[in-house]
Amino acid sequence: MEETKEVQKQRELLNAKYHRAIPSADEVWHHFKENEYKIIACPVIHTETREIYCVYQALYGSYGVYCRPLDMFMSEVDHQKYPQTRQKYRFEYIYSE
């Protein structure tokens, strides 16, 4: 499905906020704990709070579907909590399907 102009504009604003591209449907992203996830939809807007989310599916195990606030999805890894992690961000883009 093609994005509406409203979503395209929102995507541009979010890309600027995070200083990198936000996820798009059918992209695969790598989590810092070494798992891969396929993006189902992003940005997704909560109808009551207007908070922006990312919906994604695990590409391992039971292939669960998850929803996470975009701020958290795009955040940097807490390297004090996870000092062994070399990845800068919690999730990083790998490729598009």
Q: Is the pLDDT of residue 1 over 70?
A: no
pLDDT tens-digit map of 37-87 = 999 999 999 999 989 999 999 999 999 999 999 999 999 999 999 999 999
pLDDT tens-digit map of 3-37 = 888 888 899 999 999 999 999 999 999 999 999 99
**Domains present along the chain, CATH in parentheses:** 5-96 (2.30.30.320)
Measure the CA–CA gap between 58 and 33, rounded to whole angstroms: 12
* The pLDDT value given to residue 18: 95
Measure the CA–CA gap between 91 and 85, rounded to whole angstroms: 12
Which helix (H) or strand (E) segment is 52 a member of?
A: strand 52-58
What pTM was estimated for this model as a whole? 0.91
What is the Rg, in whole angstroms, of the alpha carbon atoms belonging to the chain? Answer: 14
